[in-house]
Structure 1
């Protein structure tokens, strides 16, 4: 052990606490006078530390400049009481016990280099696992397959089989599939085409283990190595199929399941076009009819079993006690015990069936509403704030939660407890009449209070929607709020809306409190009415046993009514919730043609197009005509508000022109399946932002593209070098709205997303406005290398300098068009735009 006095010179000891790390780079020795010192190896371009060793008190480490390789640092980090000294080489005692880290440093550098080389593969593998796990958790019905299914192309002999399978699947889902003909069967993926024709959504999934014993969604599976399509229909205990050999329906077991491919389609039925409450209820009933029948049956059985109690009370007090009949008492006791066990089993089974029913209802409602939202026309979303619309969209799920489960059980219990009211009339018609009058008066009072509660809940939900919309807007614009110093004004606006919402909630809760109070008072009121009736002689000569049986039956009914009263409050929210979600369901879905567009060549025609927003007489666009040939680069420019973005929306089919035609390859867009046309686009809209998640996910989306495709798209968008400099590369997390990235990086990420599908047509709306001149030039150069049609909207003229044609819009009309050189050659709107951008300030 080396002591300070062992050194020939003076040792300058200094503190080396944990918050003051330092580089060990000089030749000589590092002496720990007090405490402990941790040594780490770090790369100069990274903050990550790699542990090497810990030096204890009085340890001496020999250091040299060439010990640490280029690009690395040897970092020393001490504890709270650590003190160290740097000792020159010539002052290190010959007898000192000197430590070295040469071997540790070399092995650590090699280990880190190997890890860095394997990092991309590790990250790719981890990413694939995370994507599969995340998609499986969201889907919840089956494990999502990483990739896409091989398209099924039926032979001539299989066309009839596929038609029969789709008819069987459609019969279960309540949809009609068009017949498969020879032309249709030649499509690249006939199944997807048939599903789209029937407006059904689907997912390709990997069938879970022992799937045939866990009924859930309906599958379109494949037998015999994927050559024979089979409809797999869920039943109460498993799945059944129709054998293509003999047409018989067979229950699927393990041996039969082994013949199926591991991948299948999960098919979701859409809501009916008339998405009324009755139509949606009928759609749900097709799926849950069997479970609902079981639930009703068990509810009726529970009501009948409950009759045992008043009958036993009448027997005990009317016959057993007066006659001291011990044998009859034993029989009554056994009967009550059996009734208790039966009622417990019935209640348990009811709850199990209720849970299964909830799952089936959710499997119909949630995909149906999501599909409905995705099919709504774009003008619908301009009518509502995003926050309010999101609150409305979850309304159907809230209704399902309110109606299902305990509320439904309580409602059925109340209905079947009416049997107990019948018992009152059997034992004493007079007391039954008294009970009926009291219950009727109570129900009238409860009805009036519930009407008031529904009115207040409706107001509260509307206020909550407005409040949610405001909060969403504030969160999205929080930077602007802070820059403007508007926090106090925003808080004041929020407080006003929150107070209104809370006031309506309070009034509704007050009404429900009265409902609960009146229901709780019903049993003593009924008992008091019975006692008064008997005392007044209204009930005639009634025995003690029969009177007690009447009290017991009345108690059973009031208990069921009390349970329902506690559940009725949340159930009443169904009415205002339905009125809010009905706005979504009443909106007609986007109308598109059914003609298949095929592979687009890139030819786009805009012929005499005019457009005006509904309810506004003045046209936004008038008489616009543009011709774009395959592979051309066409630019659209003009002042703000001239109609450029509106024209792009018309080209995309997001809005329909009030006059004129938008055509692709000579076919009117209104006659084509717009979704199939848009699948061949690469689009970057103005102010587009990435989805939260990894960069890879943001670029690839649900396109099925690989990470290699994402890198190629990033190269085309001049983003790849930026991604390589990030520690996690393609797995770097993108926050909400891409706030952790620069505006230029976000725009290039959106361009990469647009290019990853290898689109036939690329449409960019101010997609490079946040880039500097150098980055913008690099992106433009890479885009010019693509063999695809490009339609670009831009204010910056350097973006469109190399366009084959430039169209200049003014007040919704084409003012002029031509090449950059042609437009600059004469005095016009374009030259004026150029002059403003090229002007330099005078001294």
Structure 2
């Protein structure tokens, strides 16, 4: 099998988030050489965090898949020699543009036209001046190595779309049948009209024609109702599956992605369902109608049928090549819009600095220049679309006119029949051609869907009974980080907290305290080593059981609009006495009673009707209401005044639960409490509060600052 690079239609990898550009570029190159990987597989192999992957990591991952890599620093001088410089590169390769983004350089023309395959904006062509302005000087050339093996096949959108619609397949088929019936009744109407013109119709032909018209209307109405039903059924099933799958994903999935992007992906199933019912169903109906109409026309007027088929093929070619250029123009528009919007965001986020420095005029000048580029790109895109529309309209008009001219070759009674059928043919053929090309636009939507649906769920997401132990916490050889391509954040930690014991984690910001808390709570899995609760890995505890064994209070707890009870229970019924005891220990009982009690007191979205300290105490009460044997508290009372925090601390100690506290404030730490001072992900000192105050200068410095 040839491994020559080809710019294939199936090699369209769209990045899901901005940090995915490196992995997407590698997917484009591998597919161009004939090796097709799914997005989940590729994303998992490349790793990376919210900052994406580096050029060195991209090169290593390419070598792992059998590619040879050559890296070059390229300096463009701004002269004509730049074209020769770029043409001398071993394309295809990956270029670093805009000082933050990877794109695939597919080829450089003799005239200086640079063709990029951008995972954010698709394929587009730049002039040498436009490329020089964006290029950041780094080039990675890729070639298949001796061990490279092409494999897989490109993903075809039409079969994928049909499989995805399988949830509502009976309704979808019903809608297609209704559309075919509409087209069939149109043929019947044309034949009835012929019989009226040739005076061969019976006495009730006019009524039959009216009945056919009513039938067309009813079939059209039924089709629309079925399309709506298919949209509802498919959207409901797929969105429910997607959200359910999303909630079963491990914490590492969310750590690599921005919250806003993940939240937007929740809606992608509805978006795809809408796209499919407005694209795939009309394509199926138009295909069936075109085949039926072609058959009838071939019988009545073979020359007209051949002419219409030929004009449709010509229209398809025009649309195909026109769409390709249109995609490039739309891609260029997206690039310019992204640059303008990024500039706007930067200016607005630093508006105080802009005003203080009196640089508003300069900022407006840069924005105006970016806006002019956007408007120019919009104009080019609009002119291109208008040109395609004019060409298609002209071809339809010419085909229809030629078809009418050919009716001179048929019997006079057939003229009106051929004319009507030709008009209906043009309508369905145009919809078929346009719809088939629009199906390719589903690729980016399915990429976002697969980023969730293709990710592996947490293996602990099963319901099984777990024995409640005394609450011993053990950490052995723990290593963990947020980016597998970089050094771990936590390095070979070994810790022990006996049942009922208390450990306080302290250290400078970024040393790994909150990350260790998440590992102890079982929210993420370590790279190596173990975090155990009563001898069982905390990450293996079933989610339905975990809160009753390990209570976790994060720095930024989440709340939902509803009552206090609903926010404490989160769908799991809890005894009233357990809730009352939790509110007492969190020092919230009196305040909740003043608001009407747990069933009447309302919590707004994110508990905005509570103060910062009240929100923290509400989150603490939620954890305590399940009476866990282990408590992991990440700055759980940082916004609570000192005297109140001391009362809460005293109440927690009476519960006897094993407690791990992440703290900056040390006023609640007692002399015999175990304290761990973390520094750069490792244990710097480890001992009781009194011992560390006596023997550790670093801990004394922290204690003096924390108070």
Which one of the candidate residues 169, 172, 185 is aligned to 1:292? Answer: 172
In the alignment, what sits opposite 1:576? 444
In the alignment, the residues of structure 2 paired with residue 464 and residue 679 of structure 1 have an alpha-carbon distance, to the nearest angstrom, of 49
Residue number in structure 2 paired with 1:786: 655
Deviations 1:642-697 (A, max 9, x none): 22112112222333222211222212346554564355332111233534455444
| Contact 1:633-1:803 within 8 A present in 2 as well | no
Structure 1 residue 375, shift from structure 2 partner:
2.5
Check the 8 A contact 2:554/2:636 in 1, yes or no. Answer: yes
Where does residue 644 of structure 2 map in the other structure? 775
1:421 aligns with one of 294, 298, 303: 294
Alignment of 1:542-557 (within 5 A): 542-557=410-425
Deviates more, 1:482-491 or 1:777-786: 482-491
Aligned partner of 1:660 in structure 2 is 529
SS of equivalent to 1:438: helix
Distance apart, 1:777 and its partner CA:
0.8
Equivalent residue for 1:368, pick from 198, 217, 241: 241
| 8 Å Cα contact 2:168-2:233 kept in structure 1 | yes
SS of corresponding position for 2:587: coil
Correspondence for 2:181: 301
Alignment partner, residue 232 of structure 2? 359
**Partner residue, 1:445:** 318
Structure 1 stretches of 5 or more lacking a match? 1-274, 839-843
* 1:560 and 2:560 matched: no
Change (3 A) 1:633 1:641: same
Q: What is the distance in 1 between the residues matched to 2:618 and 2:336?
A: 38
Cα offset, 1:718, TM superposition: 1.2
Contact 1:414 1:564 in 2 (8 A): yes
Post-superposition offset of 1:461: 7.7
Paired residues of 1:454 and 1:572 also in contact (CA < 8 A): no
Aligned to 1:766: 635
Whether 2:300 is the aligned partner of 1:431: answer no
User: Structure 1 residues 493, 814: closer, same or farther in 2, change over 3 A?
Assistant: farther
| Greater alpha carbon shift after TM alignment, 377-386 vs 302-311 | 377-386
Give, in whole Å, the separation in 1 of the partners of 2:462 and 2:443. 37
Alignment counterpart, residue 752 of structure 1, candidates 614, 618, 621: 621
Shift of residue 837 of structure 1?
Answer: 3.8
- Structure-2 change in CA distance of 1:780 and 1:426 (3 Å): same
Superposed, 1:806-821 pairs within 5 Å as 806-821=675-690
SS in 1 for 2:652: helix
- 2: CA distance between counterparts of 1:786 and 1:483? 51
Aligned residue for 1:387? Answer: 260
| Cα deviations by residue, 1:494-518 (Å, 9 ceiling, x for unpaired) | 9999988888777666555455544
Per the alignment, residue 4 of structure 2 pairs with: none
Find the residue that maps to 2:667 and give its secondary structure: helix
Q: Tell me if the contact between 1:634 and 1:792 (Cα under 8 Å) persists in the aligned partners.
A: yes
Q: Is the alpha carbon distance of 1:384 and 1:510 closer, same or farther for their aligned partners in structure 2, counting shifts above 3 Å? A: farther
- In structure 2, what is the Cα distance between the partners aligned to 1:474 and 1:740? 32
CA distance in 2, matches of 1:386, 1:473: 20
Higher RCO (C-alpha 8 Å, min separation 6): 2
What's 2:64 paired with? none
Counterpart Cα distance in 2 of 1:445 and 1:614:
47
Question: What is the CA-CA distance between 1:306 and the residue it aligns to?
Answer: 1.9
Determine if the alignment matches structure 1 residue 336 to structure 2 residue 204.
Answer: no
2:517 is the alignment partner of 1:648: yes
SS at match of 2:182: helix
CA apart distance, 1:614: 2.9
Aligned length: 548
CA offset digits 1:517-547 (Å, max 9, x no partner): 445445532232235556xxxx7x4222223
Instruction: Report which of the two structures shows the higher radius of gyration computed on alpha carbons.
Output: 1
- Is the contact made by 1:696 and 1:707 (CA closer than 8 Å) also made in structure 2? no
- Scaled by the length of structure 2, the TM-score of the pair is 0.67
Alpha-carbon shift at residue 793 of structure 1 (Å): 0.9
Within the candidate set 220, 223, 226, 1:347 is matched to: 220
CA contact (8 A) 1:807 1:818 kept: yes
Against the structure 1 CA distance between its residues 726 and 631, is the aligned structure 2 distance closer, same or farther, given a 3 Å change threshold?
A: same
User: Is the CA contact 2:549–2:629 (under 8 Å) kept in the aligned structure 1?
Assistant: yes
Cα distance in 2 for partners of 1:496, 1:674 equals 53
Tell me what 2:478 maps to. Answer: 609
Structure 1 pair 669–761 and aligned structure 2 pair: CA distance change class (3 A): closer
Match of 1:703 among 560, 572, 577: 572
Pick from 619, 626, 630: which aligns with 2:488? 619
Shift in alpha-carbon separation, 1:435–1:565, aligned structure 2, 3 A? closer
Q: Which residue of 1 aligns with 2:14?
A: none
Alignment CA distance shift 1:755-1:343 (3 Å): same
Q: Report the counterpart of residue 526 of structure 1 in structure 2.
A: 399
Q: What is the TM-score of this pair, normalised by structure 1?
A: 0.57
Say which of 240, 251, 257 aligns to 1:378: 251
What's 2:139 paired with? none
C-alpha separation between the residues in 1 aligned to 2:653 and 2:696?
A: 28
Return the alpha-carbon distance in structure 2 between the equivalents of residues 382 and 507 of structure 1: 40
Distance 2:289 2:483 in 1: 55
RMSD over aligned CA atoms reads 4.2
Instruction: Give distance in 1, aligned partners of 2:577 and 2:427.
Output: 66
- How far 1:587 moved relative to its partner? 3.1
SS at match of 2:257: coil
1:292 and 1:464, CA in 2 relative to 1: closer, same or farther beyond 3 A?
farther
Check the 8 A contact 2:158/2:439 in 1, yes or no: no
Q: Indicate how the Cα distance of structure 1 residues 757 and 307 shifts in structure 2: closer, same or farther if over 3 A, else same.
A: same
Q: Is the 8 A contact 1:608 1:624 kept in 2?
A: yes
Matches of 1:593 and 1:548, distance apart in 2: 67
Asked whether 1:315 is paired with 2:315, we answer no
**CA 1:751–1:293 in 2, change beyond 3 Å: closer, same or farther?**
same
| Structure 1 contact 634–805 (Cα < 8 Å) conserved | yes
| Alpha-carbon shift at residue 300 of structure 1 (Å) | 3.0
For 1:765 and 1:342, the matched residues in 2 are separated by 68
More helix by share: 2
Quickly say closer, same or farther: Cα 1:611–1:413, change in 2 above 3 A.
Answer: closer
Per the alignment, do residues 292 and 690 of structure 1 end up closer, same or farther by CA in structure 2, a change over 3 Å counting? closer
Contact 1:723–1:730, Cα closer than 8 Å, also in 2:
no
Question: Which blocks of at least 5 consecutive residues in structure 2 are unaligned?
Answer: 1-154
* Equivalent runs, 1:76-87 vs 2, <5 Å: none
Aligned residues of 1:716 and 1:783 also touching (Cα < 8 A): yes
Per the TM alignment, residue 336 of structure 1 is displaced from its structure 2 partner at its CA by 1.8
Provide the rounded CA distance (Å) in 1 between the counterparts of 2:402 and 2:648.
87
